[in-house]
Amino acid sequence: MDFSKRQKQILDRLRPKPLHHGQLETELIAVPNLELKDISPERQQILRDSFVQEGSNLIPLIVRRTEAYADEEYEVIYGADWCLVAKELDIERLWVWVFDLDDEQAAVTQSEMELLLGGLETPSPTPDVIKQMSTLFQRHENSLEKKISQQISEAIEQQLPKLLKQQLGGLETPSPTPDVIKQMSTLVQGLEQLLEKISQHSETMNRAIADLKQATSSRRRTATSIKNPYEGMTIHQLRKLLEDRQLEYSSRLREPGLMKLLIKADQQASH
């Protein structure tokens, strides 16, 4: 099913039509406690770069009117990460769709939007990808060292005998002249510069591999730290939990929406 059909399906399920599509002042939009989760450094940087380049959010937020907050008049339903980064960067206005939604409709909307747009974030590189990239770096590094070493050998073989023959002629026991000494000194300096380039390229490759491994390890730890306790449960198991806890839910909700209701109830109970 393409994006336009999925979007139409969301609107049909919501029933209420959007009240407004335009820009709202960022300070009027509240982020629920449930959405105050850690955003990965990579995701934060992507959103910051987008705000800097475009001046506002490329993907409109979905918000609803609310009286639950002292200062804010709207609550974000989808796009909390955009809203949090915008507040951090003091972005004054954000593009939004405004709906009148109850809690059940908000959960349905959030679940559907995550299904539609959740795959847009860049996935973490797998260990196999890291291994392949590391091998590629090392292969490139070895090839570069071999090429520069070959160039050094060729320069010595071609230039040094020619230079000595030119300067010394047919003398059996020549004494080096100032010009010969100067040219040989220049040749040695050139060889030292080539060797320095080899060292610099090697250090650059090693730093790139180390940074890549560190970034991947960090993202893997972040992903592990925010596990969903209801992940893997069937829709019947989730409904049974909601019924046992006397929580209302819509029969239209699928697993993601049911999980969000349970998680929200857990967080409210912990406060």
Q: What mean pLDDT do residues 250-258 have?
A: 85
Helix (H, G, I), strand (E, B) or coil at 234: coil
* Listed residues 74, 102, 122: the one ending a domain: 122
* Listed residues 95, 122, 149: the one ending a domain: 122
- CA dist 159 and 174 (Å) reads 19
Whether residue 241 is predicted with pLDDT greater than 70 in this model: the reply is yes
Residue 187 structural domain:
127-225
pLDDT computed for residue 191 by the predictor? 76
Q: What mean pLDDT do residues 10-30 have?
A: 74
Q: What is the mean pLDDT of the chain?
A: 76
Residues 219 and 244 grouped into a single domain: no
The total number of structural domains that make up the chain: 3
pLDDT computed for residue 211 by the predictor? 67
* Listed residues 90, 122, 154: the one ending a domain: 122
Helix (H, G, I), strand (E, B) or coil at 5: helix
- Residue 179 vs residues 10, 163, 166, 192: alpha-carbon distances, Å: 84, 11, 11, 20
183-218 pLDDT tens trace? 777 877 777 787 777 767 667 666 766 766 665 555
- Residue 159 vs residues 87, 117, 196: alpha-carbon distances, Å: 64, 63, 21
- CA dist 211 and 217 (Å) reads 10
pLDDT computed for residue 232 by the predictor? 87
103-127 pLDDT tens trace? 888 888 888 887 777 544 444 445 5
Parallel, antiparallel or unpaired: strands 29-30 and 20-25 = unpaired
